[in-house]
Structure 1
Amino acid sequence: MLHRTALCVGINQYQNFPSASLHGCVNDARDMAALLKDLLGFEDSDIIQLTDQAATKANIMRELRRMVEGALAGRYNHLVFTFAGHGTQVPDLNLDEFDRADEAFCPHDLAKSGPQWDRDHLIVDDELHDLFVQLPPSVILEILLDTSHSGAGLRAADLLMDRKPRYLPPPSLEAFRDIEYRRARPAHIKLLEKGLSHHILWTACKDSQTAADAFMQGDWHGAFTWHFCREAMASGNHLTRAKVLAKIRSDLSAAHFTQTPQLDCEAVTRHAVMKAIEVPASVAPLPSDMPS
């Protein structure tokens, strides 16, 4: 029997940076919560939604710790974490990214400390990895990130089509120079390495691209989340994750989005989208039909 819990985060408003506001992230959190209920049978009590003012670093990390501690205590065997909002980069401080930067996620209370982001109000990928690596192999963790950590792929067309990038650059010229010649490893490498290879990670774009906050069919959404929810519901949870990914990529390309969503997982790719299964400690290699 599945015992599950989910955290859906969506941040449109940034307390200290009103000019950085987005439009579709709260809708994304609501859409993902609805998908979990309609497609997988989650109950309202299984899902925590943190949006805007509630989505501080302290609140997000508290809920993630609750999920992991519950899994370690045997209360949960299926965890889902979705995040929609700005991403950024910071200099690597613990030298696990030699001559690289760290990817980071911007909570509502994002703040500066001198020329850099204040790490007490920023969620660095190291923190997520160190938390999630505690999970036993029998627990499935599915992460969906509708954010980006680089502005390199931003194109003029994206700014002309009711779209906004979900990316914040470093907060000062000095901070930018600290990472200018560095390159952050993609989120899937950090979050799924060293004991996390049996979990599942969806990201809205390649590490060199920008995820779009977009006006579609009368309202704002994350382009990736909107198409993910649509294709997942259309599949009836019968298509594999890899096939759903292929459909989302096709949808985005047809709508002239420049982002290419990514899916990283191993044996569970064979199973229906968002379906949790027990996975042994040693899992099979990637299936041959996995899109690149």
Structure 2
Amino acid sequence: MRAEASRPGQSDPISPTAYATGHFWYRHGLSDEAFVTPQGIRLDRYARVVIAALKLFGGVSLDALMLARHRGIDARLAEAIDRGEVTQIVEIAAGLSPRGWRFRRRYGDRITYIETDLPQMAATKRALLARGHFLGARHRVAELDALADDGPLSLTQLAATLDPAQGTAIVTEGLVNYFDTDTARGMWRRFAQNLSRFPRGYYFADVYPQAKKVEGLYAAFGKLLGAFVKGRLEPHFETSQDVVDEMKAAGFRRVTVFETYEIAETLDVAQVKGGDRVKILEARC
């Protein structure tokens, strides 16, 4: 669940799920009080009803899925930073994610963190970060449309403002599955093209390989989750090998798909139905 990038002809509203997700992270101890909003408190109540329904009727824990993807991306990103390979991070469609705040607290001036989103969401996030006194030269918010090839809201223009001598990572969470496969492929190509200008370029994301015909509890899970986010969730891959093939076709050289049980930070939620549903993508230029 995350604020969406724009589709052609779309306006720039803030998705209700951005507020609900933002409060979800706070409720699970991953965020700061500065990110709490009245909308988030209210919408989180509704979200908890959906989550309970998923658990009751589908046997799937949305809490486990969201914690697995969030912690999993964190773990792989942190490892790249710890190795000294990444010092600049661009989170696309960051919504009210607290990841930038947490990573800046952890790494301080060792990293530069740029949170991006469509203008209205970016303005909201900027105000919340300012309220907590978290903004600075190494932590900022920028307007960006993940579907733009060029222009003032494009990734290309933002990447041109970064230090070309520093390793750089792009992070997306809960974003790409909102879009059909052709649109997603366009995003992956943009990510690879822009990351290739840096000495090391990484892309971290959540992915959901699944058979085209899904039955049983995961079918119920997908339908309920799609209803909650008020949009169709598009499965792009049938297998992890499909993920590797697509990323390499987009321009990435090295691609790894991690199971949540392979990551120490997600091992607990990997034991829960839902937490085993998501996989963590690490693609390198």
Structure with bigger strand share is 1
Fold shared per TM-score above 0.5: no
Structure having the higher helix fraction is 2
- TM-score w.r.t. structure 1 length? 0.32
